[in-house]
Chain A
Amino acid sequence: MLTWMKLAVRNLFRNGRRSLFTVLAIALGFVAVNVLGGFTTYIFNSLKESYIYAEANGHMTLFRAGFLDQGKLDPTRYLLTREQQATIHRVLAQHPEVLVSTPQLQISGLLSNGQVSTIFVASGRVPSDIAKIAGRANDGQGVRMYDGRALADENRQGIGVSHGLAKVLGLKLSATAVAMAPTVGGQINALDASLVQLVDAPIEALEDKLAVVPLAFAQELYDTAGVDRITLLLTRSALPETLRQRLATEFREAGLELDMRTWTELSPFYTKAKKMFDVIFVVSFLIVFTIVVMSVVNTFTMAVLERTREIGTLRALGMKRRGIVGLFGLESVVLGGFGALAGIGLTLLIVAIVGWLQPTWIPPQMARRVPLQIHLVPAYWLFSTGLLMLLSIFSAIVPARKAARMPITHALGYA
């Protein structure tokens, strides 16, 4: 085997320039796939981290059955009562994989600066729970998506509004405003609020109407003790789907009819973005590997032509047809191996350069610059190395089989 490996390596150096270009084509293919793969992994991870931790939406959300279908018209009919909330928390307490369970109440109404008013939609949350969720982010704090101070449990009137909404109403940090909304009983209620933070709206459409308020503020404005959802933050190793099945049974036994949605079901943007990047990745993959296959096929077609007499000699000496195919196959493995090694080196170099330069960018659904990263994904490396090897072998075998089936006398007489 060592002899054949030696022969394979030396044969590759016979036409060093051609082999070098083929190795470079394989290496660049590897780099393209793994840098793009590393970038898309970074995007997916960022979107996931942002949705779950920075926006504090957690891994799973529980709603009263029917809320998601009919709740838009009359959300107050589908609120979870205090007793239901207690039952839910009791059931969740049996599951150590649930790190945080926090109630929320989405509200809408008018926000006034005393002179003009405009509509707002707000998410009422428990500030201390939000801080706990953000604290579980990979970087320990999550991406900061606001200017000003964090909301606080003890400051019930302290709210945040989007930059656009603040601009419409001419509000600055520490300014006061009045929030008005109908209560669940149908009365108009109004509460004083003070602006403690300016938040980044995740989508353009919410830029002039988004607000975040403490849950107590939202409940007081709606005059209710109910909430419309309970958000769960799970351990990173927990499987939301498995937990959902178990919880469904336990909630049913506790007399609760709940609708449970995982974060991927509630974040269509993530799913769409992932599908889009997956398609881009596959198309790039196909283009890159077509170039690699063509390059390797060309290299081995030329090698077979140049070494036809040698192939005849080896056959005359007793090498079987499959031996010839194996020899070229081995050369292709060596070529693919060199290419993958060079690709790994180049990828590491690019990742190191990006890490050193620390470029920033504004990704979709973000209002501020974040670091651009390329993640190292060993699974992609292994997959692309294996695939490049296979493609190299496949590309070499076609001309090698042709050479092996050539009559020995023709091969020996080939000039």
Chain B
Amino acid sequence: MTTSLAAPLLEMRSVNKHYLMGESRIDALKSIDTTIRAGEFAAIWGPSGSGKSTFCNLIGLLDTPSSGSVHFEGRDVSCLSDDERSMLRNRAIGFVFQGFNLIPVLSALENVMLPLQLAHVGARAAREAATRRLDEMGLGSHLAHRPAKLSGGQQQRVAIARALVGAPALVVADEPTANLDSENALKVIALMRAISRREGTAFVFSTHDQRLLERVDRRLMLHDGLIVDDLQVVPGIVPLREHIC
């Protein structure tokens, strides 16, 4: 178990997730107990099929557990309706997808404005907030560019700006550096790290990227649906490492 000075943002208690493929059952996650705290900069890693994506789906409230509970900001998300989960995601969770998942017919600015517009923020306020985030990402001169006109690194930064524009408590990022060259990857990691520290945003990455794993505060290793290693590397948080299995 981990303890920290920061408040728990998300708690998973005895979480199991299984899928049915025809008549066979696949246990994607088994008895997961963990806590994500505000401002945490953590990575989930492990081999393919270990349950990383399922884990990210559950903490991103994109899916619900087969058994056990996921509490976000103290609320059991299984008890929320689909609309309530949508509103919670919009308000408190940002996503960075491996394939960026930008809307191709919208400009960089419009893509970043989307979460705010879903939250019914006025167009002017949304535009200002989105412009600020894109400026922060070094894309102030690319506001009107559509995704197809941006490089992979630029698209990834637009996706990060979109994830952060609503000042979420948690950002869930799936392989955020997978499509980036080393220089861009390091830039993106540094940027997210700075935002995490400055704004207290928790980041949870699903990754294989060693460059990213070396720069997070906490590494959770998944294997066959189990957390087999939970390593804290930030001073002030104890214990630093706990082997669960």
Question: Which residues of chain A have a CB within 8 Å of any CB of chain B?
Answer: 2-3, 6-7, 10-11, 13-14, 309-310, 312-321, 323, 407-409, 412
Cross-chain contact A3 with B110 (CB below 8 angstroms): yes
Which of A3, A13, A320 meets B82, CB within 8 Å? A320
Residue B7 at the A interface, CB < 8 A? no
Cross-chain contact B117 with A11 (CB below 8 angstroms): no
Q: Which residues of A contact B110 (CB under 8 A)?
A: 3, 6
Residue B91 at the A interface, CB < 8 A? yes
Expressed in whole angstroms, the minimum distance between the Cβ of A15 and any Cβ of chain B is 11
* Distance A294 CA – B62 CA, assembled complex (angstroms): 33
Q: Which of B91, B104, B162 has the most CB of A within 10 A?
A: B104
Q: Which residues of A contact B60 (CB under 8 A)?
A: 316
Residue B238 at the A interface, CB < 8 A? no
Question: Which residues of chain B have a CB within 8 Å of any CB of chain A?
Answer: 57, 60, 62-63, 82-83, 86-87, 89-91, 95, 97, 99, 101, 103-106, 110, 113-115, 117-119, 123, 162
Cross-chain contact A409 with B118 (CB below 8 angstroms): no
Q: Which residues of A contact B114 (CB under 8 A)?
A: 3, 314, 317
Cross-chain contact A317 with B82 (CB below 8 angstroms): no
Cross-chain contact A317 with B89 (CB below 8 angstroms): yes
Given contacts A7-B106, A11-B105, A313-B101, contact A318 B90 (CB under 8 A): yes
Q: Is the interface of A mostly helix, strand, loop or mixed?
A: helix
* Distance A319 CA – B83 CA, assembled complex (angstroms): 9
* Distance A307 CA – B33 CA, assembled complex (angstroms): 35
Given contacts A318-B91, A318-B119, contact A310 B103 (CB under 8 A): yes
Q: Is the interface of B mostly helix, strand, loop or mixed?
A: helix
* Distance A309 CA – B83 CA, assembled complex (angstroms): 19
Cross-chain contact A316 with B106 (CB below 8 angstroms): no
Q: Which residues of A contact B123 (CB under 8 A)?
A: 2-3
A7-B105, A318-B119 are known contacts; what are 10 more A-B pairs with Cβ within 8 Å? A14-B105, A313-B103, A314-B103, A316-B62, A317-B89, A317-B162, A318-B87, A318-B118, A321-B82, A321-B86
21 contacts between A and B (CB under 8 A): A3-B110, A3-B113, A3-B123, A314-B103, A315-B62, A315-B86, A316-B60, A316-B95, A317-B95, A317-B114, A318-B90, A318-B119, A319-B86, A319-B90, A319-B118, A320-B83, A321-B86, A323-B118, A408-B62, A409-B62, A412-B97
* Distance A3 CA – B113 CA, assembled complex (angstroms): 10
Given contacts A3-B110, A3-B113, A14-B104, contact A317 B63 (CB under 8 A): no
Expressed in whole angstroms, the minimum distance between the Cβ of A321 and any Cβ of chain B is 6
Q: Residue on B with the closest CB to A319?
A: B118
* Distance A314 CA – B162 CA, assembled complex (angstroms): 12
Cross-chain contact B90 with A317 (CB below 8 angstroms): yes
Cross-chain contact A317 with B115 (CB below 8 angstroms): yes
Expressed in whole angstroms, the minimum distance between the Cβ of B48 and any Cβ of chain A is 14
* Distance A57 CA – B57 CA, assembled complex (angstroms): 80
Expressed in whole angstroms, the minimum distance between the Cβ of B60 and any Cβ of chain A is 7
Expressed in whole angstroms, the minimum distance between the Cβ of B85 and any Cβ of chain A is 9
Q: Which residues of B contact A315 (CB under 8 A)?
A: 62, 86
Cross-chain contact A320 with B101 (CB below 8 angstroms): no
Q: Residue on A with the closest CB to B89?
A: A318
Q: Which residues of A contact B90 (CB under 8 A)?
A: 317-319
* Distance A310 CA – B62 CA, assembled complex (angstroms): 14
Q: Residue on B with the closest CB to A313?
A: B101
* Distance A116 CA – B110 CA, assembled complex (angstroms): 94
Expressed in whole angstroms, the minimum distance between the Cβ of B18 and any Cβ of chain A is 14
Q: Which residues of A contact B97 (CB under 8 A)?
A: 313, 412
Which 3 A/B pairs are nearest by Cβ-Cβ distance? A318-B90, A10-B105, A313-B101
Cross-chain contact A412 with B86 (CB below 8 angstroms): no
Expressed in whole angstroms, the minimum distance between the Cβ of A154 and any Cβ of chain B is 81
Q: Which residues of A contact B82 (CB under 8 A)?
A: 320-321
Q: Which residues of A contact B87 (CB under 8 A)?
A: 318, 320
Q: Residue on B with the closest CB to A415?
A: B99
* Distance A409 CA – B117 CA, assembled complex (angstroms): 23
Expressed in whole angstroms, the minimum distance between the Cβ of B172 and any Cβ of chain A is 9
